[in-house]
Amino acid sequence: MTTLSMPLANGIPLLGLGTYPLMGDDCTRTVRMAIDLGIRHIDTAQMYGNEKDVGRALRESGLARDALFVVTKVDPGNVGAERFASTVARSVEDLGGPPDLLLIHWPPPEAEFTPVLDRLAAEHQKGHARAIGVSNFSPAMMRRAQTHLGGAIINNQVEFHPLLDQSAVLSTARELGIALSAYSPLARGAAMKPAAIAAVANRLGRPTSEVVLRWILQQGVVAIPMTTKRDNLLSNINALSFELSPEDMAAISAIGTRQGRTINPSWMAGRWEP
């Protein structure tokens, strides 16, 4: 079993494995393979329906629980007072222990915004999560959450890749001491297609996927790509082994626009900004 020297962001390993939409034996096998190759950061969610499968892989890995960093997220349907605590308790059971990081998966409705944050903090205080954070929060939401919880938020997981300009989110996160995590870091393959990225990859003799991931990691943003293939996992790990020049970073950053989302549910209309 391999151990990587992994950079951290707020204690979060900079490269992890996303598990959506894996289920059952496919999920368990993939998580085991990633751990065997040195990945120690595993991302799941109540919404994915695979926490038990992830938990099984963690147990079968043979590693001590404190050697792994596990993230899960509270489903939007579970953030109410009547379901929050019980569903988090089920996540803890399914994962074989408290997650290292518990996130609110999507911003709650305005009327429930601070009560949901208080429920998240309560689970932290009960020992049901080692740290807490949010997901899909705008800069204004991050600022509000961090102020309300006295700086307890360590992470905001957002869509982040070269096609989407998330500079305002990243700048605010840095100001507030919040690490960003990138879900859909390859934009479901679309982020590997721009000519500017292909040019950098060709010059460096690297796959375009490695260049995209390197651009993310080099900004101190955590990346959690999902793949079931061993060769792709190894390639993702290779993104830790080189650097892009300032000129290459700037050329790739210039690609992004605010219209570059690949995940944009109807309930978030008008809530991404400011």
Catalytic residue numbers?
48
Rounded to the nearest 10°, the torsion over CA 35, 30, 95, 83 is: 140
Nearest to 191 by CA among 209, 216, 204, 205: 209
Instruction: Name every residue whose Cβ is closer than 8 Å to that of residue 233 and which is 6 or more positions away in sequence.
Output: 17, 33, 34, 37, 39, 227
CA distances (Å), origin 129, targets 16, 65, 73, 154: 18, 13, 11, 12
Per the listing, tokens 């651009």 go with 215
Q: What angle do CA 49, 16, 254 make, to 5 degrees?
A: 110
Q: How far apart are CA 61 and CA 274, in angstroms?
A: 42
Please give the full DSSP string across 132-152, using - where no structure is assigned: EEEES--HHHHHHHHHHTTT-
Q: Residue 75 corresponds to which tokens in the numbers above?
A: 């489903």
Beta strand residue intervals within 118-265, DSSP E: 132-135, 153-159, 179-183, 222-223
221: amino acid identity, one letter: V
Instruction: Name every residue whose Cβ is closer than 8 Å to that of residue 171 and which is 6 or more positions away in sequence.
Output: 139
